[in-house]
Amino acid sequence: MQCLDPPVAARPDYDWNCPRCLVGDGQFGFEEGGIYSLKQFQEKAADFKEGYFQNKMPFDPVLNCSRPVTEDDIEREFWRLVASLEETVEVEYGADIHSTTHGSGFPTIEKNPQDPYSTDPWNLNILPYHPDSLFRHIKSDISGMTVPWLYVGMIFSTFCWHNEDHYAYSANYQHFGATKTWYGIPGEDAEKFEAAMRDAVPELFETQPDLLFQLVTLLTPEQLKKAGVRVYALDQRAGQLVITFPQAYHAGFNHGFNFNEAVNFAPNDWEPFGDAGVERLQQFRRQPCFSHDELLWTAAEGASGAVTIQTAKWLAPALERLRDREIVQRKLYLDKHKHEGPCAVTDTVGEDDPKCQLGFVIDEEDVPEEEYQCTYCKAYAYMSRFKCDESGKVMCMLHAGTYDCCTMSAEERQAGKGHTLHYRRTAEAIEGMYQKVAEKAQLPEQWEEKVEKLLEEDPTPPLKTLRALLNEGERIPYPLKSLPTLKSFVERCNEWVEEATNYIVRKQQNRRKNEKAWRKGSKAAEMEERDRELRKVENVKKLLKDADKIGFDCPEITQLRERAEAIDKFQKDARSAIANPLLHQTSEFEELLELGKGYNVDMPEIDKIDKIVQQMKWNDRARDNRGQFLTLKEVSDLIEEGDKLEIPKFNDYLIHYREQRSHGLQWEEKAKELVTAEVVHYPQLEALSAQAQAAALPVSPETLAQVEQILNKQREAHRQIVSLYERSREEDPLKRPKYAEVRETMENLTELNSKPNGTLDLEKEQKRHEDWMRKGKKLFGKANAPLHILKSHMEYVLERNVDCFDINADKPRLPAEPASREPSPSEAKLHSWEDPRFREVFCICRRIEAGMMIECELCHEWYHGKCLKIARGKVKDDEKYTCPICDWRVRIPRDAARPKLEDLQAWQDEIATLPFQPDEEDILSKIIDNAQEFRSHVAPFCNPVMATADECETQRFYLRKIEGAEILLAFETNFFRQELHKWSPVAPEPPPVLENSKSTRKPRPTKLQKLMAQHGVDDPEQLPQSLRTKPHQFKRKSSEPSSSRPQPLQPAPGRSDSGTPTSHTFPAGTASMHSGPILMSSDVSHHPTNLAGYAGSHDPHFTMSPQSATSPAFAPHAFMHAGGLPSPAFGSSASPRAPGMFNEAGIGRMDSVALGPGGDSPMRDAFAGGAGPSGGADVAQMFNDLTHGAEEEKEKNPDRETEERGKDEPAKWRPYEELEDEIDLFFVDEP
């Protein structure tokens, strides 16, 4: 009998068969089926259903085939087969398939976290763990209960009569497929159903008392109904959910292939059924799915969160049953234990008393379920268990000592020998936990009792107590029966208090604090109407009546009654004061008015008192202001206010202020007339101002401020004029005013309609100062330029002279070659002293390399093409250049005249006689000091007695610096030029004596000349009348001596500073000494254009010749032979020079142009009187074009000039020239 559970040693007297034996005999039940995929099982189900009903359905003449099978047909056939004893049908049913293994039909959080249905409460994977489900307190997943099972059915596949484990709820959802028919029995009829089953098959229940747990019994609904059992049926289709309730038996079958999913869940009301289900399982010694006691204790300890009132409501009765059961079962065993000997669990055992043989342990932590499951009844003994130390078997308290767990006798087991009693919690701990939960569960009932007690004891309960109860009830998270009613009552009381408070609060501004009571409307008119209704006196009495009807008590009721009595008293006092206003002071009426407004109600007495108070205040204010200064607007407002207050017309104050307003308006009219006049009459303005300042009339502050502003400007201008004139008479020139201050003052005088006294004297002094400035302009050749150009030009002169007259860093040296391997520096670094990498300076400007540069063939000094006005496109590669230092005939382009140092010193001496300090004084002093220092430095070299040929290069160096400066050192210039011609002659005649240095710029035509040229006329009178220039078109503060209009200048031949024309014929030997120019540029991509049109031109300073050897031209100490001349780019070694201005290999390398013997050169031939097509006649024109080509090209193509400047260098040396170019449109340069 080993197949029985538990196995028995002897055969029982009755017929007992285990489930395995019953199935083995083939009598009834389920067998293991095959393994299918869904598709395979679907095909089998369809084939079986089609084959089963193929010959069973009658012929339908309408359809001309067998009638289709209906659900009723299947249901009748199913129950026929169940009732038939002879006919047997075998079908397969895919039941109890684990969703954790084969997957769920619902989306899961693990696989579909973004799917909203993954967390839907009706998702069967979520339903068991709903916040209100008790299964949340189970510590492990239970397959089939908390984890869904899958069911795949076919026709006639059946689930027999059964109810759920632990009497739990169940939810069954059909995903797809054929209909599933359900039959259900209410839980109340469960015992009737079990009795009907035992009556129907008594022999099976005798052999198998737990037959209903095996899911193998079916009884037709008709039989059950005859036994008095209520049976209900329903058809479940795809997408429908079927819920079964606790202890409800249910059965059913499938109409074909379908797919269902089911799981259990446990709401709060399930717990009593779950407890009964555990007792039933224990009765039939069936394995439970979980420990019901552990679930209760876990919920009580709040393992899944704090115990709420909802939890306490169902948990308290459950803990009470658990406590009572534990007390009874423990007492039952301990009584038996005490009968066998002493008990150390409940009694105190002395040292001399017999020892208790029972071991006793209180478990501190939970143990696995298998360690506290009763070996006999399969129940979980979570709270108390009896364990055999010999076999390790565990018994619950009902079977402790009675089950044969070991070889000991029953008496020994009762005595506890070799056994241990385990408590998970003591009786005291269980009782404490129950009391704690029970108190939580009783909170709603206790609150309800407080409310009922308050209402029974006091017919008008205090509002404060009612609010406290309401707050307490709202904090209880549980539905309270009386809470809604209490809340409505308190809200009604609060509304009354809020409305009453508006009448109780004394300050009127508090009347509208509560928007609920005073601003319930949406439109302004409606709100104002509501305000008037709420401010009625009758409302106070109405509120008192409402308080009696509502039936509550609060301090506001008493205060409102007192307020009503105070209002009555106020009305009596107010009527008395209004009847006799002359008997009361203004302060008394104000106090009475403030008192009435504090009641926050509308009373006619308040308006009357308010008007009386305003009239009395107006009289008081009019009396106090009678001796004070008031503006015209204040007087007008005061009169207007009096009219609104209905002040009598014969009131003295009102009559006085009307007269004041009339006078003020007359003053206003006169003042505005004077202010807006074209010529301001200042004496009258002074009189009006004095009248207003004396506070005799009310005037407008704006008009008075306008008058004072005009007078203040006149006074301030007069003060400044007197101050400037007096300071200009100071003996110490440093104390005299600056010219800028005088100019600013005179410009400000133009804003005045009339000039103050002393203006003419100051203008005379200003003209005398400006005459001195015009003298300076003439020195620099800027006679027709504006006065402000003088200082800008002098700043440029100083900047240029600082470089040219430098005697510290720029000293005589051998010729150097520009280091053009790096990009040309910006304009900010043209001062070579600021950067050690650019110590070498060149040209007459004595600045570093920039843009295109050209080398003199004689002195080998490099010159900026910009400084010599040589355009890149005007020079050919094989042309040679002689600088103006070596040849005095070569013209140095000058943009302005260079004054002599002596003239500047004389001009400076006149400063002491000027009435004002000129702005140019500091710059002029620096220019003179700088030039004087340089003159002193070169004085030793200007001694004709000491000069020798060895100093030729030094003299050439200093002459180059002098020629680059912007002032003329006449003696030094003439001396060095004569000396150089003496030691190194280039021109056939010596240079003339230079007395002045004027500008070489072409004078630009005036605007009138341009108009005459456009219209092709010679006389301005021949121009159209609309274009003729009006006399005195340009307004000038002072007249300047105008120079005669020069005739348009024609291109002139090359000319020195003295004006002597250059010679164009030289001996052949002299011409052959010239070597070609070596040009340098930092822009290798810009090549000079071809000199087309000048094939027959000849110039002594530019020669073109093929390769030839050069011979010494001057003294050996001055110039070296061409073959041994060191090139700055190649160190001291000589190198052959190929024709060309630019290096084809890259920046920095220079190629020379050598003259070979016998080479032909048209220019050289011209210099020698050769036989060119035009001889030497075109040389002057060619040289003039080369030196003036940049300006002419700039005038014809200004865009190209801008491009050339960007390629060569950022030319920013002469900012004043741009202004001068614009001014030249209107003023003609002096000849």
For residues 435-454, give the mean pLDDT.
91
- What is the pLDDT confidence band of residue 1030, given thresholds at 50, 70 and 90? low
Any alpha helices (H) in 395-523, and if so which ranges? 410-415, 427-441, 443-457, 463-474, 483-504, 515-518
The amino acid at 720:
Q
Residue 12 confidence (pLDDT): 55
Q: What percent of the chain has pLDDT over 90?
A: 32
Residue 1209 confidence (pLDDT): 37
Distances from the Cα of 1104 to the Cαs of 48, 858, 968, in angstroms? Answer: 120, 15, 35
For residues 413-439, give the mean pLDDT.
88
What would the two tokens of residue 13 be?
């007297």
Distance CA 576, CA 585 (A): 14
Average pLDDT, the chain: 77
The amino acid at 91:
V
Beta strands 419-423; 359-362: pairing state: parallel
- Whether 930 shows a pLDDT value over 90: the answer reads yes
**Distance from the first to the final alpha carbon of the chain:** 149
The amino acid at 1096:
G
Distance CA 822, CA 439 (A): 97
Of 55-59, 767-771, 794-798, which range is least confident? 55-59
Any alpha helices (H) in 227-308, and if so which ranges? 271-283, 292-301
Phi-psi region of 1031 (alpha: psi -120 to 50; beta: other; left: phi over 0): beta
From the list 1104, 1105, 1097, 1113, the residue with the least C-alpha distance to 1064 is 1097
Residue 390 confidence (pLDDT): 87
- Whether 823 shows a pLDDT value over 60: the answer reads no
**Which of the pair, 382 or 1213, is modelled with greater confidence?**
382
- Whether 511 shows a pLDDT value over 70: the answer reads no
- Whether 1005 shows a pLDDT value over 60: the answer reads yes
Most confident region among 13-27, 501-515, 854-868, 1011-1025 by mean pLDDT:
854-868
Residue 152 confidence (pLDDT): 96
The alpha carbon of residue 601 and the mean position of all alpha carbons in its chain are separated, in whole angstroms, by 53
- What is the pLDDT confidence band of residue 885, given thresholds at 50, 70 and 90? very high
The alpha carbon of residue 570 and the mean position of all alpha carbons in its chain are separated, in whole angstroms, by 63
Residue 1228 confidence (pLDDT): 34
What would the two tokens of residue 828 be?
């900010």
Residue 23 confidence (pLDDT): 42
For residues 651-656, give the mean pLDDT.
86
**Which of the pair, 521 or 87, is modelled with greater confidence?**
87
Residue 909 confidence (pLDDT): 93
**Which of the pair, 247 or 1026, is modelled with greater confidence?**
247
Residue-wise pLDDT tens digits, 853-880: 999 999 999 999 999 988 888 777 768 8
CB contact at 8 A, 701 and 732: no
- Whether 82 shows a pLDDT value over 60: the answer reads yes
For residues 752-762, give the mean pLDDT.
80
| Per-residue b or e along 857-884, where b marks 16 or more CB atoms closer than 10 Å to that residue's CB | bbbbbbbbbbbbbbbbbbbbbbbbbbbb
CB contact at 8 A, 173 and 237: no
Distance CA 502, CA 497 (A): 9
The amino acid at 1040:
E
Residue 348 confidence (pLDDT): 55
Distance CA 1152, CA 1076 (A): 7
**Which of the pair, 629 or 911, is modelled with greater confidence?**
911
- Whether 453 shows a pLDDT value over 80: the answer reads yes
- Whether 175 shows a pLDDT value over 90: the answer reads yes
Any residues with CB less than 8 A from the CB of 578 and at least 6 apart, and which?
605, 608, 609, 612
Of 5-9, 427-431, 812-816, 1001-1005, which range is least confident? 5-9
Any residues with CB less than 8 A from the CB of 997 and at least 6 apart, and which?
894, 897, 898, 968, 1057
Question: Three-state SS for 807?
Answer: coil
Residue 760 confidence (pLDDT): 87
- Whether 594 shows a pLDDT value over 80: the answer reads yes
For residues 922-933, give the mean pLDDT.
94
Residue 78 confidence (pLDDT): 94
The 359-362 sheet, strands edge to edge: 359-362, 419-423, 384-388, 394-395
- What is the pLDDT confidence band of residue 380, given thresholds at 50, 70 and 90? very high
Residue with tokens 């209903």: 212
Residue 30 confidence (pLDDT): 63
- Whether 626 shows a pLDDT value over 70: the answer reads yes
What would the two tokens of residue 373 be?
């499951």
Distance CA 1067, CA 351 (A): 156
Residue 226 confidence (pLDDT): 93
Residue-range domain boundaries for the chain: 92-288, 294-440, 442-574, 789-1001+1052-1215
Q: Which 3-state string (H, E, C) describes 577-634?
A: HHHCHHHCCHHHHHHHHHHHHCCCCCCHHHHHHHHHHHHHHHHHHHHHCCCCCCCHHH
For residues 540-545, give the mean pLDDT.
86
- Whether 41 shows a pLDDT value over 90: the answer reads yes
What would the two tokens of residue 346 be?
């409940």
- Whether 359 shows a pLDDT value over 60: the answer reads yes
- Whether 804 shows a pLDDT value over 60: the answer reads yes
- Whether 1173 shows a pLDDT value over 80: the answer reads no
Any residues with CB less than 8 A from the CB of 343 and at least 6 apart, and which?
334, 337, 349, 356, 358
Beta strands in 1070-1227, from DSSP E residues, in sequence order: 1078-1080
- Whether 663 shows a pLDDT value over 60: the answer reads yes
- What is the pLDDT confidence band of residue 43, given thresholds at 50, 70 and 90? very high
CB contact at 8 A, 1081 and 1021: no
- Whether 44 shows a pLDDT value over 50: the answer reads yes
Provide the 8-state DSSP code for 887: -
From the list 717, 722, 725, 727, the residue with the least C-alpha distance to 765 is 725
Residue with tokens 């700055």: 1128
Residue-wise pLDDT tens digits, 832-853: 444 544 458 999 999 999 889 9
- What is the pLDDT confidence band of residue 194, given thresholds at 50, 70 and 90? very high
The pair phi, psi for residue 851, each rounded to 5°, is: 65, -155
From the list 255, 261, 183, 170, the residue with the least C-alpha distance to 218 is 183
The pair phi, psi for residue 150, each rounded to 5°, is: -105, 150
- What is the pLDDT confidence band of residue 646, given thresholds at 50, 70 and 90? confident
- Whether 248 shows a pLDDT value over 80: the answer reads yes
The pair phi, psi for residue 355, each rounded to 5°, is: -80, 145
Topology adopted by domain 92-288: Jelly Rolls (2.60.120)
| Per-residue b or e along 1053-1068, where b marks 16 or more CB atoms closer than 10 Å to that residue's CB | bbbbbbeeebbbbbee
Residue 495 confidence (pLDDT): 92
Residue 1043 confidence (pLDDT): 38
Distance CA 533, CA 431 (A): 65
Of 24-38, 419-433, 435-449, 913-927, which range is least confident? 24-38
Of 362-366, 411-415, 747-751, 1057-1061, which range is least confident? 1057-1061
Distance CA 1128, CA 1149 (A): 10
Question: Three-state SS for 796?
Answer: helix
Residue 1040 confidence (pLDDT): 41
**Which of the pair, 1162 or 1002, is modelled with greater confidence?**
1002
From the list 1064, 1003, 1019, the residue with the least C-alpha distance to 1227 is 1003
Count the neighbouring beta carbons within 10 Å of the beta carbon of residue 706: 15
Residue 679 confidence (pLDDT): 66
Question: Three-state SS for 866?
Answer: coil
Residue 839 confidence (pLDDT): 59
Distances from the Cα of 990 to the Cαs of 889, 1070, 1100, in angstroms? Answer: 10, 16, 16
Residue 18 confidence (pLDDT): 56
Following DSSP, what letter does each residue of 304-343 receive, concatenated?
A: TSPPPHHHHHHHHHHHHHHHHHHHHHHHHHHHHHHHHS--
Any residues with CB less than 8 A from the CB of 771 and at least 6 apart, and which?
none
**Which of the pair, 60 or 1087, is modelled with greater confidence?**
60
Distance CA 23, CA 2 (A): 16
Distance CA 158, CA 151 (A): 11
Residue 624 confidence (pLDDT): 83
Q: Which residues pair with 1151 in a beta bridge?
A: none
Residue with tokens 């601003």: 519
For residues 380-408, give the mean pLDDT.
88
What would the two tokens of residue 988 be?
């056939």
Question: Three-state SS for 1028?
Answer: coil
Distance CA 1097, CA 1177 (A): 7
Distance CA 745, CA 725 (A): 12
Residue with tokens 């309401």: 470
- What is the pLDDT confidence band of residue 77, given thresholds at 50, 70 and 90? very high
The alpha carbon of residue 954 and the mean position of all alpha carbons in its chain are separated, in whole angstroms, by 70
